[in-house]
């Protein structure tokens, strides 16, 4: 079989491409953040099922997010983003409450709130379309490994520890991983991570062990509001498009999908999202690109360079003998 011309970039069904015959439909997650209530049942269920160790008892001050990020020890991560009123609109209680009130002479008038959202140079939501927002919003999103169509982590893994499953998901085999860490810098989302005490790379397996038994991944099973939906990716994409339509009809024009498009930089995600703001607000890269996209070009260039070098060498010898 000829390799798919899109084997490194562009739309692709990854399991057949990986060599599975009669592969089951590609399975994935659709995480609808518009119904997420931030209960973190997904984080707990994931840890319980997969035996993921504790990730630190630290109060981070990032709203109710004390997990911080997807790491080797947190395979689901619920982000909490507090979006205040538009910058400049909040000053003293007088402004907030609509009538002037004397709050004392020494009070700083524009002592703005400490921002509690995702880390960044400027508070998410304030730089991106906060104008026109009239009220406080608290966004919640359960983040997870995207199980990319073109998974750079897998492409760069020298041991074959990372592999593509028959469900089209990407899984680390912990008994093969040698802890080289190439996958970590390759991931365009910053998902896969090295565990400090054992050196190996860990991330969401989309509960590969449950899928094989016909069960739902632990996080989706635990989600009380069906914010995390699991199923064949085609169906999820249809459902997601319909949901966006419904939200637009109900006056939520900011609803948009993220990671659903097979034509994006990673060939579409196996785990995609419905967001209520720009991806950066949630700490997601706006335009992720598989880091191995340019591999053919690079090989071509490297090949050309090698050829040129060889030619030069030859020429040098030829020239030298002349």
Give me the residues that bind other proteins (CB under 8 A), please.
35, 37-41, 43-44, 47-48, 54-59, 61, 63-64, 66-67, 82, 84-85, 90, 92-93, 96-99, 101, 103-104, 107-108, 111-114, 116, 136-140, 224-226
Q: Are residues 33 and 139 in contact, defined by beta-carbon separation less than 8 angstroms?
A: yes
Tell me whether residue 23 or residue 204 sits nearer to other proteins (CB atom).
204
Closest CA to 270 of 175, 186, 176, 189: 189
Tell me whether residue 154 or residue 247 sits nearer to other proteins (CB atom).
247
Tell me whether residue 1 or residue 59 sits nearer to other proteins (CB atom).
59
Q: What gap in Å lies between CA 275 and CA 254, rounded to an integer? A: 8
Tell me whether residue 118 or residue 266 sits nearer to other proteins (CB atom).
118
Residue 1, CA distances (Å) to 7, 10, 293 in order: 12, 19, 22
Closest CA to 33 of 242, 243, 280: 243
Task: For the CB of residue 54, give the shortest distance to other proteins in the complex, in Å.
Answer: 4
Tell me whether residue 25 or residue 68 sits nearer to other proteins (CB atom).
68
Residue given tokens 């973190």 in the structure block: 40
Tell me whether residue 22 or residue 114 sits nearer to other proteins (CB atom).
114
Q: What gap in Å lies between CA 191 and CA 69, rounded to an integer? A: 8
Tokens found for residue 77: 């991560």
Residue given tokens 């002592």 in the structure block: 111
* Conformational region of residue 132, where left means phi above 0, alpha means psi within -120 to 50, and beta covers everything else: left
**Run of H or E residues at 82:** strand 76-83
Q: What gap in Å lies between CA 263 and CA 179, rounded to an integer? A: 32
Using the CB atoms, write b or e for 290-315: b if 16+ within 10 Å.
Answer: bbbbebeeeeeeeeeeeeeeeeeeee
Task: For the CB of residue 267, give the shortest distance to other proteins in the complex, in Å.
Answer: 31
Closest CA to 139 of 120, 113, 114, 118: 118
Tell me whether residue 93 or residue 285 sits nearer to other proteins (CB atom).
93
Tell me whether residue 48 or residue 198 sits nearer to other proteins (CB atom).
48
Task: For the CB of residue 132, give the shortest distance to other proteins in the complex, in Å.
Answer: 17
DSSP string, 204-256: ---SHHHHTTTPPPHHHHH-TTS-EEEEEHHHHHHHHHHHHHHHHHTT-TT-E
């Amino acid at each position: 079989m000829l390799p798919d011309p899109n084997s490194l970039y562009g739309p692709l069904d990854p399991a057949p491409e990986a060599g599975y015959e009669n592969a089951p439909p590609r399975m994935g997650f659709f995480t609808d953040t518009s119904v997420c209530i931030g209960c973190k049942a997904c984080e707990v269920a994931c840890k319980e099922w997969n035996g993921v160790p504790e990730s630190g008892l630290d109060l981070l001050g990032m709203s109710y997010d004390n997990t911080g990020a997807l790491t080797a020890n947190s395979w689901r991560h619920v982000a909490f983003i507090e979006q205040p009123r538009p910058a400049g609109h909040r000053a003293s209680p007088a402004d907030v409450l609509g009538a002037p009130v004397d709050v004392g002479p020494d009070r700083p008038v524009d002592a703005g709130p400490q921002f509690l959202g995702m880390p960044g140079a400027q508070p998410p939501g304030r730089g991106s379309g906060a104008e026109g927002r009239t009220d406080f919003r608290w966004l919640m999103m359960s983040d997870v490994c995207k199980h990319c169509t073109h998974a750079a982590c897998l492409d760069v893994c020298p041991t074959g520890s990372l592999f593509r499953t028959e469900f089209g998901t990407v899984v680390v085999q912990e008994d093969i991983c040698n802890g080289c860490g190439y996958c970590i810098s390759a991931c365009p989302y910053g998902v896969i991570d090295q565990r400090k005490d054992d050196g190996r790379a860990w991330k969401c397996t989309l509960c590969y062990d449950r899928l094989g038994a016909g069960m739902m991944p632990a996080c989706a099973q635990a989600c009380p509001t069906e914010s995390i939906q699991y199923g064949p990716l085609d169906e999820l994409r249809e459902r997601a498009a319909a949901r966006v339509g419904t939200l637009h009809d109900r006056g939520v024009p900011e609803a948009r999908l993220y990671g659903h498009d097979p034509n994006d930089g990673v060939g579409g995600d196996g785990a995609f999202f419905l967001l209520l703001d720009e991806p950066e607000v949630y700490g997601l890269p706006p335009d992720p690109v598989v880091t191995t996209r340019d591999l053919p070009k690079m090989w071509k260039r490297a090949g050309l360079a090698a050829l040129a070098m060889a030619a030069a060498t030859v020429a040098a010898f030829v020239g030298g003998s002349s």
